[in-house]
Amino acid sequence: MSLTALDIFDPSSYPTRRDEEWKYSDLSRALRVVPQADDVHRLSDRIVIAAGETVVRFETSTGEAAVTHEDLHFAVGEGARLTRVVILDEPEDAVSIRRSTVETAPGSVFKQYVFSTGARFQRFETHVTHAGHGAEVEMNGAYLLKDKRHFDLTTRVNHAEINGITNQMIKGLVKDQATGVFQGRIYVERGADGTDARMRHQALILNDGAHVRAKPELEIYADDVQCAHGNTIGALDESALFFCQTRGMDEPTARALLTHAFVMPVAEAIEDEALRAKVLEFLEREAETYHAL
Amino acid sequence: MLSIQNLTAAVDAKTILKGLTLEVPAGEVHAIMGPNGAGKSTLGYALAGRPNYDITGGSVTFNGEDLLDKEVHERAAAGLYLSFQYPLEIPGVPALTFLRTALNSQKKLRGEAEVTAPEFLKKVREVAKSLRIDMDMLKRPLNVGFSGGEKKRMEVLQMAMLEPKFLILDETDSGLDIDALKVVSDGVNALRAPDRGMLVITHYQRLLDHIKPDQVHVLVAGKIVRSGGPELALELEAHGYDQYLGVAA
């Protein structure tokens, strides 16, 4: 996918739903009124992780500005490790677009964990290029969407070198009239042998009227690769719900227990203890209001 | 204690229970035996209040109260416990968390004080030990990846912790080897008490060697067609259900 230049002040540069990559997320509609400079938070940065270095990065957004537009580029050096934990905790009328590109080097590790409660329009894109052999990439995420919130998690992973590993585990909950979008593509170039790529997306739709749009794609041009993707979207297991109720839990308690448990594994996989605690705290706090029917 | 009068119930508009009448007094263990499709599991689910199990007639009172009026969790808090033939896996919820949530939900509904973490753990440890359940297993998501025997032992652990007044055991012997059957039966027998009733649903007489019933009822085509003492189970084992199939039709 070619990265189209986007100028938030120029509506003619906005993608439309006719663009395949944007068919589930209508930016033009979200930005019907072109934002004023004062309303926009704009960030563009290039971050270099030197060879052998280990960096743990925490990003959180409480969305003080009405519109957020971020472009980040990460260059992860040889044998370096970057862990990126992102909490998108924005108000319901926020509009945000975040795009990051990541380039790996031989033996490097990139791990990303994104947690979102959505916004009026929220898109989080990550474009990873396995530019070094034997790099390891993990891109996990969880979303809990309610009301009319919209969250779009778009990931592109390009295996350009041999023996690259990619693992993705995305879990989502949607209720009310919320919409979750997951577009994940793994592209394995000719010659990128030994690639091991796995993508999983699982979502629960908690009531009629909420939507999940999922588009998982694998495109493979190398011979000796292992690739798999799994995508499941469904309702909460009614039998499990009944089982909990026969043990004395009322329906809201049982639903809360089961749906909370559904997204927790994504947070529990965070190795950094302090950040894991932060994310768990965020999810616990969200759970208090999210799961109330 | 549990009084079922002329109960009829349908699942997806198909009538399964066709006028079932049964009394189980406190302190007694009654067994329900019957062929496949007789409505044994339906009876358990109908009493527990499973959605889509429509009660179309009759009544059920539990300790003098109308049971059918209550929601599923209210029936549990009133003291009814249904042990599933195939206990469900609950991904992501550690068994200890599940159990404590269930126990405190019941206590809250009954207006009792919630159990504190140390009290809870002390009791779980005792019960787990008697059932040969490792505490590490209780930190894992409930029933996920557990063997058939482990799942049934978890069921007994939950009974012992929740201390229900009435147990419905739905084919508790299925999926158990001989050793597991003994552990599970011992666990159930330990719960026999003058103020507690039990309904044991089973295909086979085997389970009743371990959990000795006071009464045995034969359920065929949605009705109790015969009731008797423990010797009735042996007779069924010897002669099968064929003789009753004509009676119910």
ipTM, interface predicted TM-score of the complex:
0.94
DSSP of B147-177: -HHHHHHHHHHHHHHH--SEEEEESTTTT--
Chain B residues closer than 8 Å to A254 by CB = 73
Q: How many CA atoms lie within 13 A of A13 on its CB side?
A: 9
Structural domain count, chain B:
1
Judge whether A274 lies within some domain.
Answer: no
Residue B70, chain A, CB below 8 Å: the answer is no
Digit-coded pLDDT (tens) for B126-166: 999 988 899 999 999 999 999 988 999 999 999 999 999 99
Chain B residues closer than 8 Å to A237 by CB = 88
Digit-coded pLDDT (tens) for B87-129: 999 988 999 999 999 999 999 999 999 999 999 999 999 999 9
Q: How confident is the model at residue B177 (pLDDT cuts 50, 70, 90)?
A: confident
Mean pLDDT value across chain B:
92
B 139-168 residues with CB < 8 A to A: 141, 158, 162
The answer on pLDDT for B247 being more than 80 is no
Chain A residues closer than 8 Å to B49 by CB = 245
> Is there a contact between A247 and B71 if contact means CB atoms under 8 Å apart?
no
Copy the structure tokens of residue B16: 């399964």
Q: What is the pLDDT of residue B249?
A: 47
> Is there a contact between A243 and B93 if contact means CB atoms under 8 Å apart?
no
Minimal C-alpha gap between A79 and chain B (Å)? 33
User: Exposure of A33 by Cβ count < 10 A (0-12 exposed, 13-18 middle, 19+ buried)?
Assistant: exposed
> Is there a contact between A246 and B77 if contact means CB atoms under 8 Å apart?
no
| CB nearest A257 (choices: B88, B93, B162) | B93
**Inter-residue contact A162 to A195 (CB < 8 Å):** yes
Q: What is the pLDDT of residue B36?
A: 87
In this structure, which amino acid lies at residue A131? A
Residue of chain A minimizing CA distance to B107: A248
| CB nearest B91 (choices: A242, A254, A261) | A261
A201 vs B240 pLDDT, higher one: A201
User: What CATH number should be reported for the domain holding residue B72?
Assistant: 3.40.50.300
A 212-271 residues with CB < 8 A to B: 237-240, 242-251, 253-254, 257-258, 260-262, 264-265
| CB nearest A261 (choices: B73, B88, B93) | B93
Judge whether A271 lies within some domain.
Answer: no
| CB nearest A253 (choices: B71, B103, B105) | B105
CA dihedral for A242, A248, A249, A254, sign (positive or negative): negative
Axis crossing angle, helix A251-268 with helix A273-290, rounded to the nearest 10: 160
Beta strand residue intervals within B38-125, DSSP E: 53-62, 65-66, 80-83
Average pLDDT over residues B245-249: 59
Residue B48, chain A, CB below 8 Å: the answer is yes
Chain B residues closer than 8 Å to A249 by CB = 73, 101-102, 105
Minimal C-alpha gap between B160 and chain A (Å)? 12
Minimal C-alpha gap between B140 and chain A (Å)? 12
Per-residue pLDDT of chain A (293 residues; tens, 9 = 90+): 456 688 989 999 999 888 889 999 999 889 888 888 888 999 999 999 999 999 999 999 876 778 999 999 999 999 999 999 999 999 999 999 999 999 999 999 999 999 999 999 999 999 999 999 999 999 999 999 999 999 999 999 999 999 999 999 999 999 999 999 999 999 999 999 999 999 999 999 999 999 999 999 999 999 999 999 999 999 999 999 999 999 999 999 999 999 999 999 899 999 999 999 999 999 988 887 887 65
The domain of B72 spans 2-248
B200 vs B36 pLDDT, higher one: B200
**Inter-residue contact A199 to A219 (CB < 8 Å):** no
Judge whether A227 lies within some domain.
Answer: yes
User: Exposure of A157 by Cβ count < 10 A (0-12 exposed, 13-18 middle, 19+ buried)?
Assistant: buried
> Is there a contact between A248 and B98 if contact means CB atoms under 8 Å apart?
no
DSSP H/E element including B109? helix B95-110
How, if at all, do strands B166-170 and B14-24 pair? unpaired
Chain length of chain B: 249
Judge whether A257 lies within some domain.
Answer: no
> Is there a contact between B81 and A245 if contact means CB atoms under 8 Å apart?
no
User: Which of B72, B194, B181 shows the shortest CA–CA distance to A244?
Assistant: B72
Digit-coded pLDDT (tens) for B49-62: 999 999 999 999 99
User: Which of A245, A250, A240, A174 shows the shortest CA–CA distance to A207?
Assistant: A174
Average pLDDT over residues B233-246: 83
Q: What is the pLDDT of residue A1?
A: 46
Q: What is the pLDDT of residue B243?
A: 82
User: Which of A90, A91, A112, A93 shows the shortest CA–CA distance to A101?
Assistant: A112
Minimal C-alpha gap between B91 and chain A (Å)? 7
Digit-coded pLDDT (tens) for B190-224: 999 999 999 999 988 888 999 999 999 999 999 99
The domain of A50 spans 11-235
Residue B204, chain A, CB below 8 Å: the answer is no
> Is there a contact between B76 and A257 if contact means CB atoms under 8 Å apart?
no
Q: How far apart are CA B77 and CA B95, in angstroms?
A: 19
Structural domain count, chain A:
1
How, if at all, do strands A136-145 and B80-83 pair? unpaired
The answer on pLDDT for B246 being more than 80 is no
Residue B93, chain A, CB below 8 Å: the answer is yes
Substitution target from B105, B146, B165 for chain A, most A beta carbons within 10 A: B105
Copy the structure tokens of residue A99: 């795009």
| CB nearest B92 (choices: A246, A254, A265) | A265
Chain A residues closer than 8 Å to B86 by CB = none
